[in-house]
Amino acid sequence: MKIKTFFSLILFFCLFPSLSNSDDTFNPCGIAPGLTYLDPYTLVSNKDFWRDFPPYSENGELNVIVEIPTGRTEKWEVRKSDGALVWDFKKGKPRVLKFIGYPGNYGMIPQTLLSEELGGDGDPLDVIVLGPPIPRGSVVQARLIGVLKLLDGGEQDDKLIAVSLNSPFYKIDTLGELDKKFPGISNILENWFVNYRGPGEMESGGFFGLEEAQLILKKASKQFKRSNARLEN
């Protein structure tokens, strides 16, 4: 089979999964079960990813919407207007990073907002979950351990750091433990985020522990509630 034909078939089964007659063990699209492609650039579920999930699960772990699996470079994100998962466009083309892939599962915390009026970027709070790749569009639980503070053009663009429940990192409770048991990972994270967009684009404010991460999350949750309340009134 020619390579072009092979990838055309993969795209066909991604757009029309009901016709593939396959089970979840074959997932050529790398997406979570239950999602539907409206087109090659839009994924939807029966819930709004931003509004319909709480920031924390019942057992106190983070709820994370995975937008970009570990190792991938395609820049997908949750769209605030309708909670769909969309491939970001830049200069009329779907955005693909010109860098090595994400060093963890990158996503967002539902029902959070870093409002522009308070110095944020106007988007939900970002999180990177350390562990093996998780399919795009998955809603997973992760343990929060800290935060990497970043500025993007002067705007707050913090990245919460969490660990996957099904990984060797799950026993880690703090950034100090991460550095002790897995030396070099925090350096990789900081260097990656500072450099992936090119020199001078991102500025690091360093790592902070669980208490600061929880405070940032609490503020982002309040900003979401205030923003939603204004829209409803």
Catalytic residue among 102, 106, 170, 196: 102
Q: Angle at the Cα of 55 (from 54 to 58), degrees rounded to 5?
A: 70
Cα radius of gyration (the chain)? 18
Distance CA 80, CA 173 (A): 31
Concerning whether 37 is annotated as a catalytic residue, the answer is no
Helix (H) or strand (E) holding 215: helix 210-232
H-only helix segments in 111-207: 175-181, 185-195
Q: What are phi and psi of 171, to 5 degrees?
A: -80, -5
Q: What three-state secondary structure class fits 105?
A: strand
Distance CA 225, CA 109 (A): 14
Residues annotated as catalytic are: 102
